[in-house]
Structure 1
């Protein structure tokens, strides 16, 4: 796996499908920017998960990011991960490039195969088989590469993939950034690491212990070798639930607010005092080569939580 730098970048990850509106997300994004985090990211889901009401509603990921592109100034913005089943890849390519232009080149795209069956049923979104979903994702990644980077502006091209066909497709509106960061992630042994090695600038392992993250990154190293890519050119990241407090009472309150057991969070997430969170974050760097952590702040009304982590954890990493 790539050598880890001395610093670990911390990013804010939100789950708006659990209940949010644009004003709430703007408040968090502005706090992310003001407090010095590396980026504001959001999931791309329409249906709540678990025992929450979903109030005040759900929001669309790329409409949200378009608004934030205009309502923030410096913070980077992205998805972890956009579901490839939600949007045809051509219109998505246009949307992402346009939001990048709106933001002045601050957008990153995380793209995944899609997985949440109930969500697809609830919103009338077709859900192909697992094989077809991964075939479709490979098609989308290849097509994005051709639209944005492999053909001269103003030309057209043809493409035939597993399920996607393009005929005389015009080179689309391109991102402002010379290479818009593209994130691929997951737990798979073969296809996901292969996609990352071929197309991505970052590979993310979500919600896994450091030892498992290291093992999965080993699959990515092997995939890089197969395509003669230096694995050190592929940034490694992880996502973890954050629950930080300076006292037992504060920790218990934050765990209760998100409906999680504190002992379970200590075992499986980044939970504890600032010192404990720092130590566990460093374990991801030391054991798994991770240089970026997405902190999943599940209570989107608790801006003091963001401030505490920015004050006590971020400077130590």
Structure 2
């Protein structure tokens, strides 16, 4: 009896998975260029561009001044002119400086020209708290989800860091690719062969029966830790990794929440007008009052560089577990 061939796997760090995707796509498509601070011979602030400068040269891997508005503007213009630029913004906080060319030009070009002009720009930016204070720790994904024409993705594993970057590099319009400081040193297995992760498709990280946790990026690790703690109490958590925030896979969330009867949204950003607020409202629209819903996010305070205050502000597994206990007791 013949057997199906086994897919070979490799183990890579999150940062290595990004570099692998970029290396393969840059070899495939000479229009791809990288712009950003320290992306050249230094290899990126988190070494996610390591080796690309040596392989592809300064013409395609270009260091820029600390000028985020200009970086995004140049990237948008280059994309409209036929290139496929990746603009690296080291801290998501500073993406605010580039919102005008990103939101008012790149995201709207297709609409303003009746589809004649496309802007295949990727803005790769790093979010999250890791001891760097109020202006280097914010998660602003919810701001970007509301922009028509803009796609937003946030991987949580090396496999999806690779697969979502491959998808982004083949998109016809602008994409914001959000990674997280705490994920770069994380290792994980992934197929040795090319695997492209489609946008708009969430995945189950853990199956359960009592409550659904919908989350993304580094908060998936927090959710998994909370689920382990609650399992010892007899509570079964189902965890959904959203992966893609715009487009959002509402069908998977609704399917899970409809079965468990309870939904907790978890994000590192603010819950006011946040990712969870959007999910909660849309799930309630689809499923009505049959599902109990709660949200967990950062406290309504700037993220301090003081480690004790930072830990108090950002959600952890104990806080998630408490919220789930309260949700199930309601």
Could you state the TM-score of these two structures normalised by the residue count of structure 2? 0.26
Asked which structure has the greater RCO (Cα within 8 Å, sep 6+), the reply is 1
Could you state the TM-score of these two structures normalised by the residue count of structure 1? 0.26
- Higher helix proportion: 1
